[in-house]
Structure 1
Amino acid sequence: MSDSTLSNITPLSDHNFSTWKPEIAALLRAKGLWRIVNGTAASPKADDVDKVAAYQEKQDKAAGLLALSLSSAQRIHIQGIEDDPAKIWKKLEDVHMEKIAGSRFNAYDELFSVRLSDSEAPTTLIPKVDEIIKRIQGLRPSDFSVEKLDKELATMTLLKALPDSYNHLVSTLLMQKDLSLDMVHSALKREEINRKPRASPSSDGSALKATAIAKSSTKCDFCDYTNHTTAECRSLKRYKAEKAKAKGSSAQPAGTATASQAQAQAQTDTKSESAGHASLRSSDVNWTVSNDWIVDTGATSHMTPHKHWFASMQAHRVPIQLADKSIIYSEGKGEVHFAPKGRGPVVAITDVLYVPQLGSNLFSALHLTEHRQFRVIISKGNIDFIRDGKTLFNAVVEESNVAKLDGLIQIQTALASTVDRTLLHRRCAHISKERLEKLVKNKLTVNLKLDSEAPLADLCETCIMGKQHRFPFPETSDYSDLKPLDLVVSDVHGPLPVSTAQGYRYWILFLDVASRLYVVYYLREKSQAFACFKEFKAWAENHFERKMKVFRDDKGGEYMSNDMDQYLKEHGIRREHTVRATPQQNGMAERANCTMAEGVTCMLVEAKLPPSFWGEALSTLVYVRNRLPTASLPNHTTPYELAYKKKPSIVHFRVWL
């Protein structure tokens, strides 16, 4: 190029494909090369030597122009196809324009969110809108039609109309590759059924049935239904009767109540609680609630959004008024164990409300003084909580005049390890029924005890939502005689539709075939694969005290750099490549990545978290999977045991929420 023309085109990066594509296409048209790139130019007959030579010259020019218009980080995508401009173009489209409905939804959302600020000229809107429209057009498949557009807009409107409480459902649907209007209709019907209140047992064992039509527009403040008033609420009457029968204990931990106190408390449960000066939890997914428990004289009850704090909890719904007068609701009430710093035994704090939408942890001084016979003494820089003449714990007043309890919450990770198969299935990232039975029957972990012999149900809703697409990768080879690092297989997964908070869009798996141990690294770009391989090799050879012998990959561009090839030769590692676009030949790694992708989806669905948390879910999944049996290993072992020469313990596993 004098090519001043090419120099005017911004090199392709991760973020400018929609503007780069029309610019480079226009340049290729101007040079008579576009039909070579888009594959519409007919190849000359082999016996016409002059035409063949001219055609190949055009191919070389087109391929050269495309390569020169890429940034250095993008050239990793075209390794191995540098001489074929049509394949280069197709590869770049596949990498940057994943034509799935979820990608188009995000583009539509961006389009309808365009706004003009007071300081901008109205004409600045035109290029903004044009650029997004071009991106949407590029994300459409070749057979896209007006009819499909109507259905897609209806699909996007339905998803956009759902409130924040449906975010987990929206996230799951957007991760589907073949999202359709019928799929959304079915998902909404299932969600409606799942959200219908289940019948509550009455004193005579019969069930109370919710009527399908509300009696009036009156809303019950206790159960939040609209078919009766608070005074008519049978759930409230039954709750008061049960609380009145409760008997108190003479020896009470902090926060426990006598029978008379329970009856009095039952009468106040229909009133709104106050959260003092607290605010609503931020909608920013990267924002987290502090672990500090703040003493608040305006709060009427102890409250926290941290579910994992609770040693025990039961369902409990009560309205809570925030500082801005808005109302949110608790979802449970239970007991939290607090260890005072340097003050003796752990204190059981009862009647703590679980409020997921709360923006901070509140400790109610008012509740302790009014209901639990505590004296609260405030002095300079300190608050003492005294009962029966003894200071049980204290709070430290910081320079900002915020008082925080001095001590730590005792997280209940080491409670009794007795669980049933359903809970164990959820804690183990929704492993298959067969692997679960192998884990239990062969006693592959230590200290695991089931308190029920009931079998795992054949149907798990989370598994259905997370494992809708499974493709077989048949394994025909026998690897039983291998030792650790005799054969390592690898595969890169991505790009993911949504990056993590740290900017990762890929993961790379290294799987030791002998032990079936998974090791995963996160990547921002595929070009980081070689660096991850060197890091894995150093760790693995040091851990197993053996040298790696064979490394197998799918011949993806990220594995084909000259530097990596030379490195493997220098270290005496034999390379094995599978045929490109034939994942079955690298079935073990492909199957592992497929299993992990499904497991991540299951975990995000159950935790009701957005897709950007896939990195945290994957780290947990790999940790869990390495401690569970696989079909390809002997019945009495796990990858962890083969790698670390001891049985793993899984009693600390909890459902990922």
Structure 2
Amino acid sequence: MDPETSSFKSPIRQLTDNNYSEWLIDIKALLRGKKLWNYTQEAPDSDKSVTAQAKWRNSAMEAADLITPTISGPVKQKLQANAFDDGYLMMNSLANIYAPKGDAEFMRLTREYYSLRYEDFDSMTHYLTHIKTLEERIRGTNVVLDDDKQTLLCLGMTLPEGFQYFTKIWAMTPGMTADKARNMLLEEERRQKTLDIGTVGTGGVGLVAITRHPSKRTPSGKAIVNDVVCPRCGKGHEADICWKLHPELAPEWLQERWTIEKRSRKRKWDELQQQDQEAPGEEGAFINL
């Protein structure tokens, strides 16, 4: 089918850049009703008879004809021409473009899934539909919930707000394991206990450091008091920027990661410079790092 000349009206809401998960639920139901879904999920089997292969090609083309009017124009432009004759190739291409991928996306979606509350939705239909949508998106990441991910998921959902910045670090750290996460949390607990911040009486009420900024004053001339204190170094800034201001205080695992990232950036810079040297005369070219 020619995607530009098709005049069929979409039987479901059209796929755009922002609704792949919802569209996938609708198109799956539509194709299953026509007994064509399997032809969009499995490649043809070369071991089958010529007749069976011909049937697969015809069914895959029929599926593509059914899918095409459900795709908006901007999305069609991202597909190769031969995808419009093959439902399997079309669905595979769309999944590569829009399906959520990676551990970080899996963890984010799973946390959202298990944190849903019926009270946040205006109807039972809306509530159940959102559950189904999240299930499809989680399945689309092709990530398996192993022991490490299960532990990280539990920590991310139960740690207090003061430790939530660790979940962002874990999401950005390749090969993150439950043991590494536990060690990081234990190290942070030891760090906080050894800070030179006293307690009042036996009630365990922490004293808050008060700092003044002479350069920051009220209209009357009084210095503005800042009651924010970093739990790591005891200075007047938030904990999430402490290691940026004082990198020498960062734990070894983070310093090692910074070193790796620095080497990676230098390697990319060297590669770009090499490419620039190999292509002389291209005036006006620039490198945006």
Q: With structure 2 as the length reference, what TM-score do the two structures score?
A: 0.64
Q: Does 1:173 align with 2:95?
A: no
CA-atom RMSD in angstroms: 5.0
Higher fraction of strand:
1
Equivalent residue of 1:7, what SS?
A: coil
* Separation in 2, partners of 1:220, 1:26: 58
The aligned counterpart of 2:96 is 94
Equivalent residue of 2:101, what SS?
A: coil
Q: Give, in angstroms, the shift of residue 163 of structure 1.
A: 3.4
After TM superposition, the structure 1 = structure 2 runs for residues 422-501 of structure 1, keeping only pairs within 5 Å, are 461-465=253-257, 467=260, 480=277, 482-485=279-282
Q: Give, in angstroms, the shift of residue 182 of structure 1.
A: 3.4
Equivalent residue of 1:182, what SS?
A: helix
The aligned counterpart of 2:154 is 157
* Separation in 2, partners of 1:32, 1:156: 37
CA contact (8 A) 1:44 1:55 kept: no
CA contact (8 A) 1:101 1:174 kept: yes
Q: Give, in angstroms, the shift of residue 158 of structure 1.
A: 0.8
Change (3 A) 1:78 1:463: farther
Change (3 A) 1:164 1:19: same
* Separation in 2, partners of 1:192, 1:91: 47
Q: Give, in angstroms, the shift of residue 39 of structure 1.
A: 1.3
Change (3 A) 1:296 1:110: farther
Change (3 A) 1:481 1:154: closer
Equivalent residue of 2:287, what SS?
A: strand
CA contact (8 A) 2:60 2:86 kept: yes
* Separation in 1, partners of 2:27, 2:133: 15
Q: Give, in angstroms, the shift of residue 51 of structure 1.
A: 5.7
Q: Give, in angstroms, the shift of residue 33 of structure 1.
A: 2.9
* Separation in 1, partners of 2:158, 2:218: 36
Q: Does 1:18 align with 2:13?
A: no
Equivalent residue of 1:483, what SS?
A: coil
Q: With structure 1 as the length reference, what TM-score do the two structures score?
A: 0.32
Q: Does 1:110 align with 2:32?
A: no
User: C-alpha offsets along residues 268-297 of structure 1, whole Å, 9 cap, x if unaligned?
Assistant: x8xx789xxxxxxxxxxxxxxxxx964379
The aligned counterpart of 2:41 is 38
Which amino acid is the alignment partner of residue 303 of structure 1?
V
* Separation in 2, partners of 1:151, 1:45: 41
The aligned counterpart of 2:80 is 79
Which amino acid is the alignment partner of residue 41 of structure 2?
N
CA contact (8 A) 1:37 1:89 kept: yes
* Separation in 2, partners of 1:178, 1:73: 36
* Separation in 2, partners of 1:23, 1:176: 35
Equivalent residue of 1:302, what SS?
A: strand
Change (3 A) 1:52 1:106: closer
User: C-alpha offsets along residues 184-218 of structure 1, whole Å, 9 cap, x if unaligned?
Assistant: 22432444455553689xxxxxxxxx9xxx9x844
- What stretches of structure 1 of length at least 5 have no aligned partner? 201-209, 225-268, 275-291, 305-319, 321-328, 333-352, 358-425, 431-455, 489-511, 520-621, 623-657
Identity %: 17
Equivalent residue of 1:303, what SS?
A: strand
* Separation in 2, partners of 1:122, 1:22: 18
The aligned counterpart of 1:65 is 66
- Runs (4 or more) in structure 1 with deviation over 6 Å come to 3-6, 472-475
* Separation in 1, partners of 2:14, 2:91: 14
Q: Give, in angstroms, the shift of residue 38 of structure 1.
A: 0.8
* Separation in 2, partners of 1:52, 1:165: 59
Count of equivalent residues: 263
* Separation in 2, partners of 1:106, 1:127: 18
Change (3 A) 1:44 1:64: farther
CA contact (8 A) 1:5 1:27 kept: no
* Separation in 2, partners of 1:197, 1:7: 64
User: C-alpha offsets along residues 417-450 of structure 1, whole Å, 9 cap, x if unaligned?
Assistant: xxxxxxxxx89xx9xxxxxxxxxxxxxxxxxxxx
Which amino acid is the alignment partner of residue 28 of structure 1?
L
Higher fraction of helix:
2
- What stretches of structure 2 of length at least 5 have no aligned partner? none
Which amino acid is the alignment partner of residue 280 of structure 2?
K
Q: Does 1:302 align with 2:203?
A: no
User: C-alpha offsets along residues 145-195 of structure 1, whole Å, 9 cap, x if unaligned?
Assistant: 6xx3x6544322212333344344221212345544334224324444555
* Separation in 1, partners of 2:193, 2:280: 54
* Separation in 2, partners of 1:75, 1:178: 36
User: C-alpha offsets along residues 593-628 of structure 1, whole Å, 9 cap, x if unaligned?
Assistant: xxxxxxxxxxxxxxxxxxxxxxxxxxxxx3xxxxxx
Change (3 A) 1:66 1:177: farther
* Separation in 1, partners of 2:123, 2:42: 42
* Separation in 2, partners of 1:5, 1:44: 36
Change (3 A) 1:330 1:63: same
Q: Give, in angstroms, the shift of residue 9 of structure 1.
A: 1.4
Change (3 A) 1:165 1:13: same
The aligned counterpart of 1:27 is 30
CA contact (8 A) 1:9 1:23 kept: yes
The aligned counterpart of 2:132 is 130
Q: Give, in angstroms, the shift of residue 124 of structure 1.
A: 4.8
Change (3 A) 1:72 1:108: same
* Separation in 2, partners of 1:93, 1:518: 32
1:197 alignment partner, one of 172, 194, 197: 194
Equivalent residue of 1:92, what SS?
A: helix
Question: Could you say which structure has the larger radius of gyration?
Answer: 1
Change (3 A) 1:24 1:331: closer
* Separation in 1, partners of 2:195, 2:11: 64
CA contact (8 A) 1:152 1:180 kept: yes
Q: Give, in angstroms, the shift of residue 6 of structure 1.
A: 6.7
Change (3 A) 1:51 1:100: closer
